[in-house]
Structure formats: structure tokens, C-alpha cells
Amino acid sequence: MKDIQSERDSRRINIQKVGVKTVTYPITVLDKARKQQHTVATVNMYVNLPHRFKGTHMSRFLEILNDFHGEIDINSFPVILRKMKDRLEAEASHLEIEFPYFLDKNGGGRGRSTGHYRCQLHGSLNLEEDLLLTVEVPISIPVVENPPRRLPGSYGRWGHAAVSVRLRHFFWIEDLILSIEEEVESEIAQLLARQRPVISVESLARRVGRCLEGLSAISWFSVTVHNFGDECATFATVSCP
């Protein structure tokens, strides 16, 4: 039987991307405190095909995923991308995962608590390799008083900062999250100390941006700060100059 999938295609319109999407898969990622943590990812895998190919073997994507037994982290990304590119005879390969990342925190008087942060890793391998890490950090606002303090109970969700970075060398996800949180809290405290406090998505985005500029591990960044309002969300984006 002829292999229809890899037969040359005479049709003019070429497939740009082909692959699998929204695979729910248990993974382990690197964790600074506990070495590894178990979580569940939504995975997309796709390739760009050379023009002579008509289609691809979808099952190979899941085979490659199974080969790694879900050990998918910043270190294994390049290896998986290379395997995809080779086994699918592709011009370029792409791997995108999204997962909740759990972080234990010592809440002031609130005892130990576990927060989670939505994270994404988007990698691609063409002639060069590219890896983008995105973390989403919730923002809440303390009560304005002298000194500012938080109300007992939650202040609700003011918004979040979605930060994407390209790295020069390895950097812990938790260190990135904690840097962003620190910067946001410090900016809010300064803004609230003013006579006429205005907390804006613009000022927070710029503040986080300046912080990332100062981190030598980061070669590129983009910061979008969202504020959830009653009728709509407002947002501002800054990125690497």
C-alpha cells in the first residue's frame, strides 16, 4: 500500500503548519525548592512542512510526547524540538505548553499557603532555536491608609501582569515570579503614598519593564498589565526597547 501521507503533492497550496493542539498531559517541571513538581499541561505541537510534503503523521507527535514521559521543562525543550524536526522531516518545529505552576509561600500571619501561577513555554526550532517563557502574576491592592495596609480578607482581583521573557541563561520560574511581585507591590505602595493616588496599568507595566531591563539573564521581555474593571478590563503593554 502506497504511503499517502508522505507522497509528493502537486497542488499549489502548501501546508504551513500541521500538528496537534490542546493535548491534556501530566508533566513534571523543575522546581527550585523541591527539585521537581508535578502538574498538568495543555500541549500544542506542530511543524512547518517542506513544500514537497502533502501531510504528516499526526500520531508521531504523541509518540514523541510519550517518549519524554512528561518531563518537559526549560532544559528538555530543545531536545524535544529537535526530535520533532527530525522525525517529522520538518523545516521547523514548535512546542507550546501551558500549565499551573505551584509555589509555596510563607504568608505573614496566614501560615503556609500554596499559590499557583499560569505559565507558558513556547519553543521553536528553525535554523535557530527560540524559547519564550510567560508567567501571569495576580495583582491586588491594599487599603489606602497611613500607613497603607491590607484589609482582613481578600481585596479581590485588581488584575494581573503577564510577562514574557527570552533568557540568556537558565533562570528559575519562581525567581521571575517573585521579582515581578516585589516590583508591583513596591510601585503600588509608592503610588498610594501620594496625595492623589492613581494606580494605572501604564505605571505598573513600566515599573515591571524597568525591573526586567536590569536582570542580566533576560535578553528580551514584554509586559502587559491588566486591570479588571466593572465593565471591561483595561491594559497596557511595554516591551524591550
* Distance between start and end Cα atoms, the chain: 56
Instruction: Give the whole-angstrom CA distance, residue 14 versus residue 54.
Output: 8
- Residue 231 C-beta: closest distance to a copy of itself, Å: 5
Whether the Cβ atoms of residue 2 and residue 48 lie closer than 8 Å to each other: no
- Residue 236 C-beta: closest distance to a copy of itself, Å: 4
For a copy of itself, the closer of residues 118 and 172 by Cβ is: 118
- Residue 77 C-beta: closest distance to a copy of itself, Å: 19
For a copy of itself, the closer of residues 153 and 169 by Cβ is: 153
Instruction: Give the whole-angstrom CA distance, residue 151 versus residue 14.
Output: 58
Whether the Cβ atoms of residue 81 and residue 125 lie closer than 8 Å to each other: yes
Closest C-alpha among 132, 128, 45 to residue 88: 45
For a copy of itself, the closer of residues 195 and 216 by Cβ is: 195
- Residue 188 C-beta: closest distance to a copy of itself, Å: 11
For a copy of itself, the closer of residues 22 and 216 by Cβ is: 22
- Residue 43 C-beta: closest distance to a copy of itself, Å: 8
For a copy of itself, the closer of residues 19 and 123 by Cβ is: 19
Whether the Cβ atoms of residue 38 and residue 28 lie closer than 8 Å to each other: yes
3-class SS of residue 96 = strand
